[in-house]
Amino acid sequence: MDVLWAPWRMEYIQSPEKRGKNCLFCDKLKSTADRENLVLYRSIHSFVIMNPYPYNNGHIMVLPNRHVPDLHGLEDVVLLDLMKVTEHSIDSLKRVFMPDGFNIGMNLGKVAGAGLGEHVHNHIVPRWTGDASFMAVLGEVRIIPEHLRTTYERLYPVFNA
């Protein structure tokens, strides 16, 4: 049996947010500690945060400031802002990482994979030709080549230029 140690996951598993006491995203939105919370960008109606457990380097999320489980009930101005911030995020990621493409999507509801389904969010995952290497295919292991803080420091000035 192969064992893959990922002790950094315990913080996520045991976090109060995982147990449903608070909305992780709302807490980070209310905080002013953007760097510590990996918040990259704030607009009037939306914000961008890095995924601390990324599928790929540069994996980010775009969220409305309003706490809602899906897109229903969001005003048109908020929906437009969400899409404009998504567009800005793609442009920023292109400038920094030069990916070959992107996976962009929302998981709506627990059965769709929404681990934090009470606050709707877009996932944006940069993709590169060949990024599904033998490690992911054979070993079911994904390699993230850059530390989250380094990625944050590279992305923050581009998002906020």
Catalytic residue among 45, 59, 121, 123: 121
Examine the residue annotation and report whether 45 is marked as an active-site residue of this protein.
no
Nearest to 35 by CA among 154, 161, 149: 149
* Residue 96 CB-density burial (10 A; 0-12 exposed, 13-18 middle, 19+ buried): middle
Contact assessment for residue 123 and residue 104, using Cβ atoms and an 8 Å cutoff: yes
- E strands, the chain, in order: 39-42, 46-50, 60-64, 101-105, 122-127
In sequence order, the 6+-apart residues with CB closer than 8 A to the CB of 119 are 23, 24, 25, 26, 63, 67, 68, 69
Q: Active-site residue numbers? A: 121
